[in-house]
Chains A and B, each alone.
Chain A
Amino acid sequence: MGKFKDLLEKDFIFLDGAMGTMLQAAGLKLGERPEALCVTEPETIKNIHRQYINAGSDIVYTNTFGANSHKLEGTGYTVDEIITAAVKAAKSACEGTDTLTALDIGPIGELLEPSGTLKFEEAYDIFKEMLVCGEKAGADIVVFETMTDLYEVKAGVLAAKENTSLPIMVTMTFEENGRTFTGCTVESMACVLEGLGVDAVGINCSLGPKEIFPLAQRLACSSNLPVVIKANAGLPDPLTNKYDITPEMFGNYMSMYSKIGINIAGGCCGTTPEYIREMARAMKISKGERERVESISKLCTPQKMVKITGVRTIGERINPTGKKRFQQALRENDMNYIAERAIEQADAGADILDVNVGLPGIDESEMMVRVVKTIQSVVDLPLQIDSSDPKAIEAGLRVFNGKAIVNSVNGEQEVMDKILPVVKKYGASVVGLAMDSRGIPKSAEERVEIAEKILKNAIAHGIKKEDVFIDCLTLTVSAQQEQAKETLKAVRYVKETMGLHTVLGVSNISFGLPAREFITCSFLVQAMANGLDLPIINPNQQAVMDAVYSFKVLSGEDKDSEKFIGRFAGRAMQSQNQNTNVPVNKGISGADERNGLFDIEYAIAKGLKEEAARITAELLKTKDEMEIINSLLIPALDKVGERYERQEIFLPQLINSASASCEAFEVLKKSILNKGAGSVSKGKIILATVKGDIHDIGKNIVKVILENYGYQVIDLGRDVPAELVVETAVKEDVRLVGLSALMTTTLKSMSETIEALRKSGHECKIIVGGAVLTPDYAKQIGADFYAKDAKQTVDFAKEIFG
């Protein structure tokens, strides 16, 4: 660390230029792994480093860009061999100079979840192996470069922090639109990496210095960290594979960077020692200063930045407290239900989502990981990790891809000492509850006192002031009427005098009163007027979000009332449509309101989701749940299925009908839960897309249809290892397992999964499906049944379960 710190004191730090370009010039073929040369031709590598050192490089990157276990597979080399040789070559080139050796780490070469199949934890291990070897071999720093996925970078940075003491530089690769291939913005990169405590951050590859410049300006304005730039020698010509700018032009462009105070630079693809020499010469002539970046509270995901420069709502619906259906979803591992709640709130306009999964009998840390991963696979909002268990908080922060809030600490020293270090480690913001072991203080003054204590402690832990939010606590007005104004008073003080953002769980105010919405909204408006920035609310309540939108007009944040007008213009149109639509539908169906069968059948046949739910709720007044399922829903679906078989309708309509039926089922499930009765399940079925395969639309279609017939589907998702299928089948005593594979290459996994199930001795039937399967092949790999579509799967399930 020391040597790098010293280097940072210099006016400029010059890096090296391309390794690959030099190796290709020396005869490396496209498609060959350049890292092997560290072992076979160390002198060639050393010589290239030497040329860069002579050109003025203060740091050279080892030839280890792809020296990870994934990319080296099948090459006959181990990570340790390559990295040891590579660091040795670089260090021997540096001998007798002040030049440092950077362990170079590129992308693993496989995309991480949720787009790909590589797990965050696996990525961590792959990086860890490289890092430990690199440090042992004597690298001075580590640089992650050409990264496009911030999640992968996070795994790498954590691996470096937790297993080495190497200083860390990170540069990511952006397209001209300012995003990486996976959609990460320059600002999100800076925000997350600064939080994780890297030493320098920057941009490399893909573009030339001219194209990168506007992105570098954005980066320099969003972080106070040292900024690193390694541009290509312009853009490549696909016919010749040559880059289009000369060393002199490169130098000229790079001097623009030094003018704005960017002082760590090198070259990427197409650059040679000559480029570095020219760059160093030109940059030294025009040294400028970086502008100081103002401190703004920020939260983000790779795609989305949420700046707390006004009211930002936190959706409260991902929380099992008092919600039986949500509790059931957690117990049954029904991640789809939770994903739906996330999407619903995002669509309703929440800026941040609170995530609370604490439930007796459930491993909170494990569940937190699963739920955070699920949510970030479907929405791009920052999360608020809501737990009192430091382990669960850390588990959530670790796998969250972005900058989160931790909810919460309070004024108890012990709590702060446990949780604040975790907040700091992952670069999160934190909510401090203005209470301590003595409970919630009665007066605003006492709450402010606790807030001050929390702030002091946070700062002592290295957390920035702008990352501390205070919750002055909402008490139920029907029980403690005098407390509402104390809360508001404390909010105002914390905001205005302490200069901190404030959080409040708003809905609690109206508990126990009729017409709660009026009290909730009224309190929300008063709180916002007193300085509440981060209300925790149910965004699905229209009146609550209306109040937020209105407030933003009055506070001046919503310029020209644009968003407000947008919100209500849409609504006016919608209500008109609804008025005209309903009679038209009825007209077509000729449906008879009194005849439940006719109505629900029509709603399902036509795929009318809301109608199906409404009619089902209506039917519940006169019929019980099982009766509705057996005598109404299933016959309605059977008819749809028959029409599908006769090719009168096709997959889209089948799915539409199934989705409408799902809505009806949801109503029945809730009704049963509220009665405390058992379940509607006719039997448990496991569905999984086999290991290695990620195509799961087909499986999801089968799932929806099976659920519609009353089966409880345990959906293990995609890329499911055989062991998990066996383990779940045994643990849950499942008699029917459905496996899906869409690629010829993954049929092998399917056959292995079947073999593992048979070997386990667990008695169950196996049904398989997928585009490349045939009945013959299904038989050959030992499946009991081949289903060409969802309908056939249901028929088979009926045979098994009756």
Chain B
Amino acid sequence: MSDYLKEINKNEVLKYLGYKCGKVEPELLDDIEKCSDEVIRYSVPKVIYRVFDIDDKSFAFKGTNFIPYGKDIREILSQCQKAVAFAATIGTEIENIIRRYEVNNLYRALIIDSCASSAVENVCDNFQNELEEKINHMGLFITDRFSPGYGDMPFEQQKDMCSVLNTSKTIGVCLSRSGIMIPRKSVTAIIGISKEPHKKRGKGCEYCSMFENCEFRKDGITCGKI
């Protein structure tokens, strides 16, 4: 499992820290390096996934009470007979570490928080790559991953995904009353499986729920995730 987190993308961390361009001080790079090490050391990456047949009309995940909403996710799944629902987390210890640094070293708290955000994305990427290999091996193809809150898929569906995957029991991820996943550095997502190679969606900001207020987009660049 721990193979899911090998490294942390420094550029992504810099973006989370608000860097848009220009020279980065060597001291900061050094600190990011140290914080990345700390995040990797204390992360307990866990992934839970299940493969479901999907109903070609209602898009319902068979054997569950889950139906994804929104035209974006349905477009992705439109050519798919099956889909993977998955959830990933890097665990609670990182939360404890961030909380502690927030008290006496806010600078470090901020960098570790950014590294941790990047870490969970990395876990998802690695899971997705591994899955893709397996699926391709079976002569099938996967789509991009899509999370509740992306595009027009309601953020509230995170709750349904957590419940289908029983995340509180399987990987220790619970939802707070306001729908925030705890530990915070956690992700739920859907990946479609189809017989034909899927045209990966044109990555574009317009699919993103941050579209209106994104600080990157205001400056004419993208965060690179969409």
Contact = CB atoms under 8 A, between A and B. Distances in A.
Contacts of A182: 92, 172
A30 B65 contact: yes
A528 B98 CA distance: 37
Interface string A339-368: 110011000000000000000000000000
Interface string B86-122: 0000011101101110111111011101000000000
Contacts of A339: 103-104
A650 interface: yes
A217 interface: no
A523 B156 CA distance: 63
B103 A659 contact: no
Given A336-B103, A652-B28, A774 B213 contact: yes
A146 B25 CA distance: 48
Interface string B120-134: 000000000000000
A700 B31 CA distance: 20
A745 B106 contact: no
A117 B172 CA distance: 15
Q: Which of A30, A343, A380, A653 has the most CB of B within 10 A?
A: A30
Q: Which of B66, B98, B174 has the most CB of A within 10 A?
A: B174
B172 A181 contact: yes
A343 B179 CA distance: 31
B3 interface: no
A652 B111 contact: yes
Contacts of B155: 744-745
Given A30-B64, A697-B102, A651 B169 contact: no
Contacts of A773: 213
Contacts of A380: 96
Interface string B165-204: 0101101101111111011100000000000000000000
Nearest to B179: A745
SS of A interface (majority): loop
Contacts of A166: none
A655 B169 CA distance: 38
A675 to B, nearest CB: 27
Interface string A630-671: 000000000000000001001111011011000000000000
Contacts of B31: 652
Contacts of A693: 178, 180
Interface in A28-59: 29-32
B17 A30 contact: no
Contact of A340 (B104, B160, B166, B171): B104
A267 B139 CA distance: 39
B18 A239 contact: no
A696 interface: yes
Interface stretch (B4-12, B47-55, B72-80): B47-55
Nearest to A182: B92
A183 B93 contact: yes
Contact of B177 (A110, A206, A377, A659): A110
Nearest to B49: A238
A744 B209 contact: yes
Interface string A678-705: 0000000000000111111100110010
B63 A30 contact: yes
A655 B114 CA distance: 14
B175 to A, nearest CB: 7
B106 A704 contact: yes
B100 A378 contact: yes
* Chain B contact patch, size range: 35 or more
A676 to B, nearest CB: 28
A241 interface: yes
Contacts of A647: 20, 22
Nearest to A173: B169
A344 B49 CA distance: 42
Nearest to A65: B169
B104 A743 contact: no
B102 to A, nearest CB: 6
Q: Which of A655, A659, A697, A772 has the most CB of B within 10 A?
A: A697
A444 to B, nearest CB: 43
Contacts of A23: none
Given A694-B184, A745-B179, A148 B103 contact: no
Q: Which of A111, A118, A336, A647 has the most CB of B within 10 A?
A: A111
A378 B174 contact: no
Contacts of B92: 115, 181-183
Contacts of A753: none
Nearest to A693: B178
A378 B164 contact: no
B71 to A, nearest CB: 19
A183 to B, nearest CB: 6
A24 to B, nearest CB: 9
A30 B51 CA distance: 12
Contact of B51 (A238, A344, A378, A659): A238
A137 interface: no
Contacts of B28: 652-653
A771 interface: yes
Q: Which of B48, B66, B110 has the most CB of A within 10 A?
A: B110
B110 A652 contact: yes
A746 interface: yes
A747 B19 CA distance: 26
Interface in B25-60: 25, 28, 31, 44, 48-51
A101 B64 CA distance: 30
A655 B110 contact: yes
Given A378-B100, A745-B179, A651 B164 contact: no
A205 interface: yes
A380 to B, nearest CB: 8
Contacts of B163: 31
Given A30-B64, A655-B110, A110 B175 contact: yes
Interface string A559-574: 0000000000000000
Contact of B17 (A206, A651, A771): A651
B209 A340 contact: no
Nearest to A748: B178
B65 A115 contact: no
Contacts of B178: 117, 691-693, 743, 745-746, 749
A109 B168 contact: yes
A480 to B, nearest CB: 40
Contacts of B111: 652
Given A29-B63, A697-B110, A704-B106, A343 B184 contact: no
B219 to A, nearest CB: 10
Given A31-B164, A745-B155, A116 B65 contact: no
A695 B163 CA distance: 23
Given A650-B18, A773-B213, A148 B172 contact: yes
A701 B182 CA distance: 22
A523 B109 CA distance: 40
A351 B182 CA distance: 29
A114 interface: yes
A391 B18 CA distance: 49
A181 B91 contact: yes
A30 B166 CA distance: 8
A652 B176 contact: no
28 contacts: A29-B64, A30-B64, A31-B160, A110-B177, A114-B99, A117-B182, A118-B176, A181-B91, A181-B92, A183-B92, A238-B48, A241-B50, A340-B103, A343-B103, A343-B104, A379-B100, A652-B31, A652-B107, A653-B25, A656-B107, A692-B178, A692-B180, A693-B180, A697-B110, A704-B106, A743-B178, A746-B180, A771-B210
Given A29-B65, A115-B182, 10 more contacts: A109-B168, A111-B182, A343-B103, A343-B104, A378-B100, A650-B18, A694-B176, A772-B210, A772-B213, A774-B212
Interface of A: 29-32, 107, 109-111, 114-118, 146, 148, 173, 175, 180-183, 205-206, 238-239, 241, 336, 339-340, 343-344, 377-380, 607, 647, 650-653, 655-656, 658-659, 691-697, 700-701, 704, 743-746, 749, 771-774
Q: State the 3 A-B residue pairs at the shortest beta-carbon distance, nearest first.
A: A181-B172, A692-B178, A30-B64
